[in-house]
Amino acid sequence: MDDPVRLTRRTVLAGAAATVAVASLTRETSAASGTRAPSANAVSTAGPFVLPALPYPANALEPQISSRTLGFHHGKHHKAYVDNANALVAGTPLAAKAPEEIVRLAARGEGPADLFDNAAQAWNHSFYWRSMKPKGGGEPTGALLELVQRDFGSTDDLRKQLVQAGASQFGSGWAWLVFDDGKLKVTKTPNAETPLTGAATPLLTVDVWEHAYYLDYQNRRKDYLQAWVERVVDWEFARANLPAAAKGGGK
Ligand SMILES: [Fe+2]
């Protein structure tokens, strides 16, 4: 599993915006050594990247994802990426740009070496929280259902592809449902990589870094993915992300 304290320390060593980074390190070290679970309502607003409040209580996805997993994942891992990304752009022209633009610019080599990983992970996690909901799962509706039937055959086939993509991602990464070149597709990306840097429109994502499931499922990543596609996924979020041209479904 990655280590938010180590990541933050690396940021300090990178030398950029050292004052902000030191403050970030202090907060993270303090949080990591505390005994209280991180707050699900923690919000960081010290730069272009924001740690959003979770869109549901931390225990709302149980039993598929425990409040302990969600608390650490959001309050420590995601927070570290947000703090690191903000520290890395502080005092630079990038600080005035939107998070999505920073991710795209960093992918092209702008900013410090660590920027892409932290900025993309900050964005990917915000997208992941919204890709889930309590009592999720079931069937997509409307235009998304029509596209799923046209491009996968059935929701069950889509679920199988998402599970397969996440289970077969070697090491850390993400599985995605995207709209690309007029079609729904399932893709996977390693580490912090994100469809945001390419032509495809991301519709939803599932995190397959070990920190997303290890407390609850240990090495059984496939079980986490199966539970995710059956009980947690928010198809409405995916439908809302369809490009305007795709909202008519497969007609
Ligand atoms: Fe994660």
> Tens of pLDDT along 99-108?
999 999 999 9
Contact criterion met (CB below 8 Å) for 186 and 175: yes
Residue 113 lies in a domain: yes
Q: Is the pLDDT of residue 10 over 90?
A: no
Q: Using CB atoms within 10 A of its CB, is residue 199 exposed (0-12), middle (13-18) or buried (19+)?
A: exposed
Residue 196 lies in a domain: yes
The domain that holds 161 is classified in CATH as: 3.55.40.20
Same domain, 112 and 217: no
Same domain, 177 and 148: yes
Interval between CA 153 and ligand 1 midpoint (Å): 30
Interval between CA 15 and ligand 1 midpoint (Å): 25
| Domain count across the chain | 2
Same domain, 8 and 125: yes
Give the tens place of pLDDT for each residue, 46-61.
Answer: 789 999 999 999 999 9
Same domain, 122 and 147: no
Interval between CA 212 and ligand 1 midpoint (Å): 5
Interval between CA 228 and ligand 1 midpoint (Å): 14
Residue 149 lies in a domain: yes
Interval between CA 77 and ligand 1 midpoint (Å): 7
Check residue 234 and give its pLDDT. 98
- The residue to which tokens 């993400």 are assigned: 174
Query: Cβ–Cβ contacts within 10 Å for residue 88, how many?
Result: 30
Spatial distance between the Cα atoms of 15 and 86, rounded to a whole number of angstroms? 13
Q: Mean pLDDT throughout 230-235?
A: 98
The domain that holds 47 is classified in CATH as: 1.10.287.990
Residue 135 lies in a domain: no
pLDDT band at 213 (very low <50, low <70, confident <90, very high): very high
H or E element in which residue 117 lies: helix 115-130
Give the tens place of pLDDT for each residue, 176-197.
Answer: 999 999 999 999 999 999 999 9
Same domain, 188 and 233: yes
Q: At what angle do helices 4-14 and 18-33 cross, to 10 degrees?
A: 160
Check residue 246 and give its pLDDT. 86
Check residue 39 and give its pLDDT. 36
Interval between CA 216 and ligand 1 midpoint (Å): 14
Phi–psi pair at 47, nearest 5 degrees: 175, -170
Same domain, 114 and 154: no
pTM value is 0.82
Q: Is the pLDDT of residue 22 over 60?
A: no
Residues around ion ligand 1, judged by CB within 5 A, are: 207, 209, 212
pLDDT band at 2 (very low <50, low <70, confident <90, very high): very low
Which is more confident, 43 or 212? 212
Expressed as residue numbers, the domain containing 153 is 142-246
Same domain, 117 and 22: yes
Check residue 245 and give its pLDDT. 80
Residue 136 lies in a domain: no
Percent of the chain with pLDDT over 70: 81
pLDDT band at 250 (very low <50, low <70, confident <90, very high): low
Same domain, 110 and 82: yes
Query: Which of 78, 99, 130 is the last residue in one of the domains?
Result: 130
Which is more confident, 68 or 45? 68
Same domain, 181 and 148: yes
Interval between CA 150 and ligand 1 midpoint (Å): 31
Average pLDDT over all residues of the chain: 85
Residue 24 lies in a domain: yes
Interval between CA 176 and ligand 1 midpoint (Å): 14
Check residue 247 and give its pLDDT. 82
Token readout for 1 is: 């599993």
Interval between CA 141 and ligand 1 midpoint (Å): 28
Same domain, 126 and 18: yes
Token readout for 42 is: 């923690």
Token readout for 209 is: 């870094």
Interval between CA 145 and ligand 1 midpoint (Å): 28
Spatial distance between the Cα atoms of 184 and 62, rounded to a whole number of angstroms? 29
Check residue 251 and give its pLDDT. 65
Same domain, 152 and 118: no
Same domain, 13 and 126: yes
